[in-house]
Structure 1
Amino acid sequence: MKLISYIKHHKIKSATIAVLLIAYYFCLPHHLFSDPTSTVIASKDNELLGALIADDGQWRFPVNDSVPEKFKQCIVHFEDEYFYKHPGFNPVSIVKALKENLSSGHVKRGGSTLTQQVIRLSRKGKSRTYFEKVIELILATRLEFRASKDEILAHYASHAPFGGNVVGLDAAAWRYFNRPAKDLSWSESATLAVLPNAPSLIYPGKNQERLLKKRNRLLKKLLTKGVIDSLTYNLSVVESLPQKPYPLPQIAPHLLQRITQTHKGSYVATTLNKTLQEDINAIVAQHHKLLKQNEIHNMAVLVLEVNTKNVLAYVGNSPTDRTHQNQVDIINKPRSTGSILKPFLYAAMLDAGDLLPNTLVADVPTQFGNYNPENFNKEFDGAVPSSKALSRSLNVPSVKLLQKFGLDRFHHYLKDLNLKDIRYNANHYGLSLILGGAESNLWDLSKSYMNMASTLNHYSESSSEYFKDEFIEPSFFYSEKSSKDEKQQETIIFDAASIYLTFESLKNVNRPEGDENWEFYDDSKQIAWKTGTSFGFRDAWSIGITKDYVVGVWVGNADGEGRPGLVGVQTAAPVMFDVFDLLPNSDWFAKPYDEMSEVSICSESGFRANPYCENATLEYIQKSGLKTAPCPYHVLMHLDASETYQVNTSCEDVTTIKNKSWFVLPPLMAHYYKRKNPFYKVLPPRREDCYSNEQNVIDFIYPKANSTIFLPKDFDGTTNELILKLAHSKPEEDVFWYLDNTFLGTTKDIHDLAILPEEGEHIIYVLDADGNEAKRKITITN
């Protein structure tokens, strides 16, 4: 009541007081400091990995709310011994300073508290006048109302100048002592505590004697006040001073570059393992020294943890020079994929039920319009199990499988994997999509294999269920935690069995030279891995998968220059295996029995066994594979008693006919298959006195349809002949050859014929004694 009465009788005075109080309340800006700060990244254990200088050219780390106890004691005893007792200003110090300055005729002593110094730092550029001092005093008392003493001290430690372009305790600790502020000794903390007092005059490398005296006086004061004991004091005063600033650590510079794009000026705790990152940096440097001798200058390595989907190591480029684009982060840059997409096709066909793990696929010369895929070794196997076609990275079977599966269907799987650099529709890429006709990046590829491994792990660990949010992006932010709680029975992209069978095939890829006998060692790592080499030897890939880790490696030149020997298994794979040697051993993936069925499989063809498959074994396949056709290559043949000829009831009594299962491949497949498989038995010929409606099969081995052929000349000017090659299901049959309706000759058993056609277009025509025929159109150029 007295207050209300006073206000009524003293309205002007009360209004003035109210205005002053409101002005006082709002006089302090909400944000004291708006200076740009450095982007700082740290490991998952809070160890510094790197920092980027602030936009104003200062090494100024983001504000740290924690001030180490040693520095806290040093700065308080040096700058403001009554800091924890005064309300923002110290009247005794102000009076003493005012008397001394007036008597000397100039500013000789300051009476500012740490709180006032925080205000002065926030009002940088203001002249040091008595009027400015009054403003600082008012703002200091206001700051004392708003913030705790420790918060004020944190403001000071984060924004005080420490000489040169170093601002703040954290940056100073790294620049001058190459360690975090919390690990500084008493001597080092004292050195930094005296620097802000005169940063332009006293800094490491200059005025060492004056700096030493200031530091030792502060240490003496700490001894006198009982903050440190005599032993600590004696050891501290003999410590040397820093001579020059250290460069800040740059352990993951390309990740720092990437994080700066979205978290500029922030302190970011990452998921990286500092020790692993440093060790991989050393591996990359070592391999770079060897590869640059072949003018191969760039390399990228990414290590992902399957369980957490965190990035454990991130090496965006090799330690090359600016000329070879060492600043470029290649991990997220699109590059030609080479063969690295083949496992996705294999898994997709297994998942769709279009393939079994070891189904025989054709490996013969093939032409798709103007497209003629070739294997890396320029050879053909005739027929090869699909798992070996994958583990050996054979090109021709992969293209044939893609054609069978469907380009659009496979493209849909790749889009589901979120391979962001595959931007065009399926027809844009064509069948070359599987051999490097598309582009992707190390991040997306490694992510996809990581998510496949995670799918398999979670299926085995749960009640045979899938996590809805399985195929997600890896994270290098420590604060991010992936949510994988929602489960479902339906597959996400690939079912667990298809992934398991794909990894089983990739586990059998031949390792680089020197590591071929890995399986004979007790501590050997079981790794599913795949390499890739782009056309023109421009990109070399190697990605390895275990139950716990994925390691992705790219090697090449950032400018796209190809180099001989830039092959995945020779350049990228050795780096990958060196990285795996740093990682703990992992158990192999558990077999997902609930997603598999045990069926009888034909040992020779890999198809589901038909009644004529004599060698069949029980094997686990993916459930979707139950709809695949039975073996088409085992047939029941009717032979004479000696098994020398094929017979039938038109020429042999039914009681003497011998029925026998026979493994028969189409002629062109058989032609190449028997070269690599000496135990392959061709069908016996049909006995001449036996009637048959069966037609023999003829197929050209060379030339390919609609091909243009150049006939080279010898040194003497003689034009080399064109060698025609034919496969016939009954090699013993006579085959008649024609060129543009002109008879050329007859072949038997070995159907090869040398001709010397004139320049221009020609039709090659062949005919056997039973009237079976085949044609090829070719163009000859000289």
Structure 2
Amino acid sequence: MKFFKRHKIKLIIAVILLTAYYFSLPKQLFKSPTSTVIESVEGELLGAKIANDGQWRFPQNDSVPYKFQQCIVQFEDAHFYKHPGFNPISIFKALSENIKSKKVKRGGSTITQQVIRLARKNQKRTYFEKLKELILATRLEFRYSKEKILSLYASNAPFGGNVVGLDVASWRYFGRFPNNLSWAESATLAVLPNAPSLIYPGKNQQELLAKRNRLLKKLFDEEIIDKLTYELALEEELPQKPYRIPQIAPHLLQKGVKDFKGERIKTSVKIGLQHQVNDIVKTHYNELSKNEIYNVAVLVLDVETRQVLAYVGNSPTSKKHHKDVDIINKPRSTGSILKPFLYAAMLDAGDLLPNTLVADVPTQIASYKPENFDKQFSGAVPASKALARSLNVPAVRMLQSFGLDRFHHYLKELKLKDIKFNANHYGLSLILGGAESNLWDLSKSYASMASTVNHYDDTQGKYYTNEFLEPSYLKDFKPNFGETSTEKPIFDAGSTYLTFESLNKVNRPEGEQNWEFFNDANKIAWKTGTSFGFRDAWAIGATKKYVVGVWVGNADGEGRPGLVGVSTAAPILFDVFNYLPQSTWFEKPFDELVKIPICSKSGYRASEICEQKDSIFVQQAGLKTKPCPYHLWVHLDKNEEFQVNTSCENLSNMVHKSWFVLPPLMEYYYEKNNPFYAKLPSYRNNCLNETKAKMEFVNLPKNTTFYLAKDFSEEVVPIVVKLVHSNPETKIFWYLNEEFLSVTQEIHEIELLPKKGQFNLTVVDEFGNELKTYFEIRK
């Protein structure tokens, strides 16, 4: 106690000095901006962006390769592992030599002191500054291990020009990681920080060679390398000029800079796959550019881990054609790529069975008149084939039937962030490209649907609550699928599986047509899309393991003839899938499916009078669908040539038969494409027909608006109106605004040459059946 009282002031001063010493070293030594670096899942360099201060300076690397470690210690500080941060002998020798020469000729700094000097931005080399460095160096030795101090030096030492740190120097001067360098290459880099402004690869070659070889000789003398290694190292050439930093995934690097600027990012990208996809894109770009199509984007996702395996944001085009734009996250017109979501939604809601016939006839809804790509009509087509063939008219009619708001709700559940407006903003064109989305969101949705089916099988009939989560490009990403539940996430597994079954039947592009005849062929659920004006071409495919998304077009939105999904995007899709490992097809989710009889001809649930039935698996909700509406019980004469009834035939002479009958407009087009379709026989002449005849306009729904068109001779082009009748031989009488126009038989078609205005068109058949429509003509 007396000691403390006697030396109170000294102790206080000591405590102050010790406190000052303890806090003399900042927590973060180096605050200079660093480059953003992305690496593949294997640890290979994918790309880097220069730091904000114009220096190539990679983030801190705690690992220093053995060869460089030995070289730098032998060259800069042979007693590094023995001193406490400074070397008294070296300091004494430096002082003596500098005093004799009356100038600073030699430094006695250790590697630890050099770390301090680098952290202090190379302050002026004075004796007072040296004293500061010495004090801080000892403090640094207390804080960090020798290995950490060496790594700080290696990461921040100058290597000439704007190259800072071993990692960058290794890539700039030798084009590879520092742990892959030879002894000669490591020695070359070890001597550079000693005089980076004087010695630079490609210049001062003799000085650089002499320094390197002296270091190699020292390594040999210290028995760090053997004689053969030494002799071979002496023969190695010096680097002549800097290499370019690899830019294997430049657009993923852009994303990394935005999310983790200045950090070293370990991604989930597979280096081999990334190289292969780059090559595929380059090959197709070379062909597409001949048609002035300049931009391509490809995204590959792992369904199980929901990680990015390959990321090509654009083709290797020029700045003029926006090569730096990352297309993957840019909103583009969807074309037909949303159709599988509508199909799945209708299955899921029980509004449809896979093979239910849907109408494919001329359609006009208000002022909207959709058309199929080939301008043709099938009359009626199974819903699954309408999806596989990407028919527009059935899709619009299905959307109208399902409900625009209802489908819009499903899309919002999918978290397609570029669908920002309400349903009425898009209208029925929503299903044909009236909305925008991006390759990232669309690919993640297909991946989530695939995962739904996979997880349903893995969990023996359950779902995950967070199935439709965001993918990631980070190596350490672990998807959080949420809790298991009996509640479906968006679509049930049965509806999703049936959707994929339909998409597997899409006709493949040239070179892939006969895939099903090979045992090792990959079954792929895939869909294309083409936007209005040939501006965007899409192809997205899913297997049990992978999802590949492709977009092709021009970043500036210019359309090009031939810019169609199946001919431009699909070949890229299949080239990528052909490189990926093959995966098995999805397991059938039996608990979400039920086997029921369906009508072979209509695809509806079979009614009692359906003469041909198939037994197929449908989604559970399909039990709510109505039975076949297209089969009638008809009564025929003995020869089955005419319909009869009790007014003209005895019951004993009648043949009662089920008959497949489509509405007149559907029948008109359907029979052209289905030669085995048998039209319903007409009634025998002596029979009283109480059944009302059916008529429909082919191209003139109610409230249609026409615009007067003129030909090259400035003559007004007439409007052609067609009508179908259940009995074509019947005479039809035509009236326009109550004035008689004409009478037709067998071919019910007339030409109208009215002026501007509103009109009422009426047709009456010879039995008194009447049909009316209204239309307007504008200039």
The answer for the alignment partner of 1:497 in structure 2 is 494
| Paired residues of 1:460 and 1:592 also in contact (CA < 8 A) | yes
Q: Which moved more, 1:4-13 or 1:528-537?
A: 4-13
Q: Does 1:213 align with 2:197?
A: no
Percent of residue pairs identical? 64
Q: Does 1:273 align with 2:237?
A: no
Q: Which moved more, 1:323-332 or 1:748-757?
A: 748-757
The answer for the alignment partner of 2:65 in structure 1 is 68
Shift of 1:362: 0.5
The answer for the alignment partner of 1:695 in structure 2 is 692
Shift of 1:12: 1.6
Separation in 2 of the partners of 1:712 and 1:334? 36
Which of 543, 546, 554 pairs up with 1:546? 543
Shift of 1:702: 2.8
The answer for the alignment partner of 2:303 in structure 1 is 306
Q: Does 1:649 align with 2:609?
A: no
The answer for the alignment partner of 2:168 in structure 1 is 171
The answer for the alignment partner of 2:452 in structure 1 is 455
Which of 83, 93, 102 pairs up with 2:99? 102
The answer for the alignment partner of 2:155 in structure 1 is 158
Q: Does 1:21 align with 2:18?
A: yes
The runs of 5 or more residues in structure 1 that have no matched partner are: none
Separation in 2 of the partners of 1:744 and 1:603? 43
| Paired residues of 1:79 and 1:114 also in contact (CA < 8 A) | yes
The answer for the alignment partner of 2:279 in structure 1 is 282
Separation in 1 of the partners of 2:149 and 2:708? 87
Q: Does 1:751 align with 2:754?
A: no
Aligned ranges 1:546-585 → 2 under 5 Å: 546-585=543-582
The answer for the alignment partner of 2:438 in structure 1 is 441
Aligned ranges 1:336-375 → 2 under 5 Å: 336-375=333-372
**Structure 1 residues 477 and 715 mapped into 2: Cα distance closer, same or farther (>3 Å)?**
closer
The answer for the alignment partner of 2:673 in structure 1 is 676
Aligned ranges 1:138-157 → 2 under 5 Å: 138-157=135-154
Q: Which amino acid aligns with 2:703?
A: N
| Paired residues of 2:56 and 2:162 also in contact (CA < 8 A) | yes
Q: Secondary structure at the match of 2:192?
A: helix
Q: Does 1:82 align with 2:66?
A: no
Once the two structures are superposed, residues 705-749 of structure 1 have per-residue CA deviations (whole angstroms, 9 ceiling, x without a partner) of: 333445666666665544321111122222111223222222222
Q: Secondary structure at the match of 1:604?
A: coil
Q: Secondary structure at the match of 1:555?
A: strand
Shift of 1:394: 0.5
Q: Secondary structure at the match of 1:50?
A: strand
Q: Which amino acid aligns with 1:38?
A: S
Shift of 1:691: 2.6
Q: Does 1:426 align with 2:423?
A: yes
Q: Which moved more, 1:477-486 or 1:375-384?
A: 477-486
Separation in 2 of the partners of 1:756 and 1:223? 103
Q: Which amino acid aligns with 2:218?
A: K
Q: Does 1:506 align with 2:506?
A: no
Separation in 2 of the partners of 1:314 and 1:21? 54
Q: Which amino acid aligns with 1:178?
A: G
The answer for the alignment partner of 2:467 in structure 1 is 470
Shift of 1:485: 6.1
The answer for the alignment partner of 2:738 in structure 1 is 741
Separation in 1 of the partners of 2:15 and 2:514? 87
Shift of 1:97: 0.9
Shift of 1:295: 1.4
Q: Which amino acid aligns with 1:319?
A: P
**Structure 1 residues 73 and 125 mapped into 2: Cα distance closer, same or farther (>3 Å)?**
closer
Separation in 1 of the partners of 2:715 and 2:235? 91
Shift of 1:430: 0.9
The answer for the alignment partner of 2:380 in structure 1 is 383
Q: Does 1:254 align with 2:214?
A: no
Shift of 1:225: 0.4
Q: Does 1:317 align with 2:314?
A: yes
Q: Secondary structure at the match of 2:328?
A: coil
Once the two structures are superposed, residues 658-694 of structure 1 have per-residue CA deviations (whole angstroms, 9 ceiling, x without a partner) of: 1011000000000010011111111111123323432
The runs of 5 or more residues in structure 2 that have no matched partner are: none
Q: Secondary structure at the match of 2:305?
A: coil
Q: Which amino acid aligns with 1:253?
A: P
The answer for the alignment partner of 2:115 in structure 1 is 118
Shift of 1:763: 2.6
| Paired residues of 1:284 and 1:575 also in contact (CA < 8 A) | yes
Q: Which amino acid aligns with 2:745?
A: K
| Paired residues of 2:367 and 2:705 also in contact (CA < 8 A) | no
**Structure 1 residues 207 and 718 mapped into 2: Cα distance closer, same or farther (>3 Å)?**
closer
| Paired residues of 1:465 and 1:488 also in contact (CA < 8 A) | yes
Once the two structures are superposed, residues 386-438 of structure 1 have per-residue CA deviations (whole angstroms, 9 ceiling, x without a partner) of: 00000000011001111111111111110110000111111111111101111
Q: Secondary structure at the match of 1:775?
A: strand
Q: Which moved more, 1:710-719 or 1:455-464?
A: 710-719
Q: Secondary structure at the match of 2:529?
A: strand
The answer for the alignment partner of 1:130 in structure 2 is 127
| Paired residues of 1:554 and 1:572 also in contact (CA < 8 A) | yes
Q: Which amino acid aligns with 2:590?
A: Y
Once the two structures are superposed, residues 282-321 of structure 1 have per-residue CA deviations (whole angstroms, 9 ceiling, x without a partner) of: 1111111111121111111000011111100000111111
| Paired residues of 1:380 and 1:672 also in contact (CA < 8 A) | yes
Separation in 1 of the partners of 2:707 and 2:606? 46
Q: Which moved more, 1:455-464 or 1:757-766?
A: 757-766
Which of 293, 296, 304 pairs up with 2:293? 296
Q: Does 1:331 align with 2:332?
A: no
Shift of 1:127: 0.6
**Structure 1 residues 146 and 714 mapped into 2: Cα distance closer, same or farther (>3 Å)?**
closer
Q: Which amino acid aligns with 1:409?
A: R
Q: Secondary structure at the match of 1:655?
A: helix
Q: Which amino acid aligns with 1:288?
A: Y
Which of 601, 605, 608 pairs up with 1:604? 601
| Paired residues of 2:635 and 2:654 also in contact (CA < 8 A) | yes
Shift of 1:754: 3.6
Q: Does 1:628 align with 2:625?
A: yes
| Paired residues of 1:685 and 1:732 also in contact (CA < 8 A) | no
Separation in 2 of the partners of 1:447 and 1:749? 54
**Structure 1 residues 780 and 124 mapped into 2: Cα distance closer, same or farther (>3 Å)?**
closer
Q: Secondary structure at the match of 1:736?
A: strand
Separation in 2 of the partners of 1:103 and 1:713? 104
Aligned ranges 1:581-592 → 2 under 5 Å: 581-592=578-589
**Structure 1 residues 59 and 524 mapped into 2: Cα distance closer, same or farther (>3 Å)?**
same
Q: Does 1:239 align with 2:236?
A: yes
Separation in 1 of the partners of 2:27 and 2:383? 67
Q: Does 1:188 align with 2:153?
A: no
Separation in 2 of the partners of 1:441 and 1:62? 32
| Paired residues of 1:347 and 1:499 also in contact (CA < 8 A) | yes
Separation in 2 of the partners of 1:362 and 1:247? 59
Q: Secondary structure at the match of 2:469?
A: coil
Superposition TM-score, scaled by structure 1 size: 0.98
**Structure 1 residues 718 and 80 mapped into 2: Cα distance closer, same or farther (>3 Å)?**
closer
Once the two structures are superposed, residues 490-527 of structure 1 have per-residue CA deviations (whole angstroms, 9 ceiling, x without a partner) of: 11100001011000100111111232112122322111
Shift of 1:163: 0.4
Once the two structures are superposed, residues 604-663 of structure 1 have per-residue CA deviations (whole angstroms, 9 ceiling, x without a partner) of: 000011111111011000011011001110111011111111111122111111101100
The answer for the alignment partner of 1:594 in structure 2 is 591
Q: Which amino acid aligns with 2:96?
A: K
Q: Which amino acid aligns with 1:697?
A: K
The answer for the alignment partner of 1:40 in structure 2 is 37
Q: Which amino acid aligns with 2:51?
A: A
After superposition, the CA RMSD in angstroms is 1.4
Once the two structures are superposed, residues 176-216 of structure 1 have per-residue CA deviations (whole angstroms, 9 ceiling, x without a partner) of: 11000111111111001000000000010110110001001
Separation in 1 of the partners of 2:154 and 2:713? 88
| Paired residues of 1:698 and 1:727 also in contact (CA < 8 A) | yes
The answer for the alignment partner of 1:728 in structure 2 is 725
What is the number of residues matched between the two proteins? 779
